[in-house]
């Protein structure tokens, strides 16, 4: 029975490693700062964003839950452009494993041609937790020393690095997270290696003859050089306020495994987004929900509106 439970726990670790190396958010085009620190300060305003993913919600108990919160803004120092930001994330795979991550971002920016080149670095901390007290064992198995019966947590330094280039019409960026592929000691018997992961995000804004409509095709690829998954997305934006579209998720082992519906709106300083994954695999017939909310603070007053005021005599 010791060997049996050791194999079960080991298999769960393997599944956790493969599935949780980096969460594949369906709304990756709003989560670019989560994947690539070079996007810090991209918009020119201060932005605060919260994104939450409920995978296979209602299909299984203790379904995976992922969320992150990020904030970024531009910064000028010695007449040079930078972007700064922070990001904190939480991933839970079942009842046994969870990961938290915190990073501080800085991006150096330089005007090249019609666009902006950005090189970003994200140092931070990563924490892994194994909840052995969630295992349900009988009395004889519960006394085995090989099975951790309590919560074990380990943490270590984590680094991400990325580069991006963007203009008014296109953007593209590549990045690597967990650059050092750190090893985390949970306790004296359990060690976990966090594998290095690479990602690519690219998109293009297509203006139509009708100025109210704009098409935004985009691409997202996530890989650890052993397995890869990719999203192809086409969204339409109406009047720069409302958007919707469709996407497909392709896995290098299973082919197309999801069709994704996107809905969103931008109302004044708020942006709202929702995505639903329709699974095409036989593993699950229940899809995944994803919610996004962001708030923008304009750091510079629009041209022509500076020092605009009314006299108290005509109020």
pLDDT, tens digit (0-9, with 9 covering 90-100), for 166-196 = 998 999 999 999 999 988 887 777 778 888 9
* Distance between CA atoms of residues 177 and 65, nearest Å: 20
**Tokens describing residue 260:** 């994704």
For the chain, what percent of residues have pLDDT higher than 90? 54
Comparison of pLDDT for 298 and 296, the residue scoring more: 296
**Stated pTM of the model:** 0.81
In whole angstroms, how far apart are CA 38 and each of 164, 181, 195? 6, 20, 21
Sign of CA dihedral 135, 141, 143, 147: negative
Mean pLDDT of 43-66: 85
Judged by DSSP in three states, 24 sits in coil
Q: Write b or e for each residue in 196-213: b if 16 or more Cβ atoms lie within 10 A of its Cβ, otherwise e.
A: ebbbbbbbeeeeeeeeee
Number of other CB atoms surrounding residue 23 within 10 Å: 23
Of the candidates 16, 23, 55, the residue with the CA atom closest to the CA atom of residue 281: 55
If residue 179 lies in a helix (H) or strand (E), which one and from where to where? Answer: none
Mean pLDDT of 90-110: 88
* Distance between CA atoms of residues 32 and 118, nearest Å: 13
Confidence of residue 1 (pLDDT cuts 50, 70, 90): very low
**Tokens describing residue 52:** 């939450």
In whole angstroms, how far apart are CA 170 and each of 58, 166, 233, 244? 38, 6, 15, 19
Of the candidates 128, 51, 36, the residue with the CA atom closest to the CA atom of residue 85: 36
The whole-number pLDDT of residue 286 equals 78
* Distance between CA atoms of residues 221 and 199, nearest Å: 5
pLDDT digits (tens, 9 = 90+) for 200-232: 999 999 988 898 999 999 999 999 988 899 999
Q: Are strands 151-166 and 80-93 parallel, antiparallel or unpaired?
A: unpaired
Question: Rg of the Cα trace of the chain?
Answer: 22
Angle, CA of 124, 93 and 150, to the nearest 5°: 85
């Amino acid at each position: 029975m010791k060997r049996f439970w050791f194999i079960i726990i080991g298999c769960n670790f393997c599944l956790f490693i493969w599935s949780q190396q980096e969460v594949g958010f369906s709304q990756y085009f709003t989560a670019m700062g989560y994947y690539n620190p070079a996007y810090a300060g991209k918009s020119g305003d201060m932005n605060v964003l919260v994104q939450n993913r409920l995978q296979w919600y209602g299909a299984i108990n203790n379904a995976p839950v992922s969320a992150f919160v990020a904030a970024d803004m531009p910064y000028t120092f010695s007449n040079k452009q930078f972007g700064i930001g922070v990001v904190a994330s939480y991933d839970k795979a079942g009842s046994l494993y969870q990961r938290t991550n915190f990073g501080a971002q800085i991006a150096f920016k330089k005007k090249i041609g019609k666009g902006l080149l950005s090189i970003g670095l994200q140092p931070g901390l990563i924490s892994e937790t194994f909840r052995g007290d969630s295992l349900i064992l009988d009395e004889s198995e519960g006394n085995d020393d090989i099975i951790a019966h309590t919560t074990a947590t380990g943490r270590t330094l984590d680094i991400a690095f990325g580069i991006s280039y963007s203009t008014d019409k296109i953007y593209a960026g590549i990045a690597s997270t967990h650059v050092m592929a750190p090893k985390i000691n949970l306790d004296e018997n359990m060690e976990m290696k966090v594998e290095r992961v690479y990602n690519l995000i690219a998109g293009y804004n297509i203006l139509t003859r009708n100025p109210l409509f704009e098409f935004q095709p985009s691409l997202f690829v996530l890989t650890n050089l052993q397995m890869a998954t990719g999203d192809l997305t086409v969204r339409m934006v109406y009047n720069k306020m409302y958007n919707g579209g469709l996407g497909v998720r392709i896995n290098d082992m299973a082919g197309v495994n999801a069709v994704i519906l996107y809905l969103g709106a931008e109302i004044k300083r708020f942006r709202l987004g929702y995505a639903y994954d329709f699974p095409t695999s036989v593993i699950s017939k229940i899809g995944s929900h994803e919610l996004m909310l962001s708030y923008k603070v304009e750091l510079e007053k629009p041209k022509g509106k500076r020092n605009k005021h009314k006299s108290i005599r005509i109020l």
